[in-house]
Amino acid sequence: MTNQEQETIPQEEKETATTGQAATHEAGTEATDGKQKKEHQKHKKEKPSEKIVELEEALEGMKDKHLRLQAEFDNFRKRTLREKADLIKSGGESVLTAILPIVDDFERALVSMQEMADEDPSKVGFLLIYNKFRDFLKNNNVREIEAAGQLFDVDRHFAVTTIPSPTEELKGKIIDVIEKGYTLNDKVIRFAKVVIGE
């Protein structure tokens, strides 16, 4: 063995020893890195699942809000349609109610004109106007409330007074009508003022 060969061997052994130490160090580092990576992945797995739970809760909250808003809008739409239908049905209620006293006056005048001849031109003209008023009310769904001889109904009649009934059959029934009552689309716009037998 030459001097150079002797020098080379220890050099190689030194390199091998150094390489072995480096490999051991790398293996140790890899093991530590592996543990850290596993822990990091574990944390990564936990964090997204927590995030998913939060997002699912937020989504449920948004769905609930959406359903509530949709229900509120549906209720609003139905209420608006109902109010509009009521306005259409009873839109002219105030006008029709104002016409009723005129019809009452016509009926009182007709009672006083009974003695006049049917051919009398003033009576004929008067009846013509009265019939037009009645037709106008019927065309606008205004109906007279039946009262005479009927049982007293607080939803449709207004008792002015009570008098002793002439017969047993008329007890609790309407004996006389002081002022006629009317309905508009089955809604009472004027109660019938009546006298009840007791």
Q: What is the mean pLDDT of each run of 10 residues along the chain (198 residues)?
A: 49 50 50 56 62 88 91 92 79 81 88 84 88 88 84 83 78 83 86 86
176 with 194: CB under 8 angstroms? yes
CATH of the domain at 111: 2.30.22.10
Give pLDDT, residue 72.
93
Instruction: Using the CB atoms, write b or e for 103-139: b if 16+ within 10 Å.
Output: beebeeeeeeeeeeeeeeeebeebeeebeeeeeebee
Bridge partners (DSSP) of residue 178 are none
Give pLDDT, residue 43.
52
Give pLDDT, residue 68.
92
Residues 127 and 144 in one domain: yes
Q: The domain containing residue 96 runs over which residues?
A: 92-197
pTM: 0.53
Give pLDDT, residue 152.
81
Give pLDDT, residue 76.
92
Residues 69 and 112 in one domain: no
Q: Please state, in angstroms and rounded to a whole number, the distance separating the CA atoms of residues 52 and 72.
A: 30
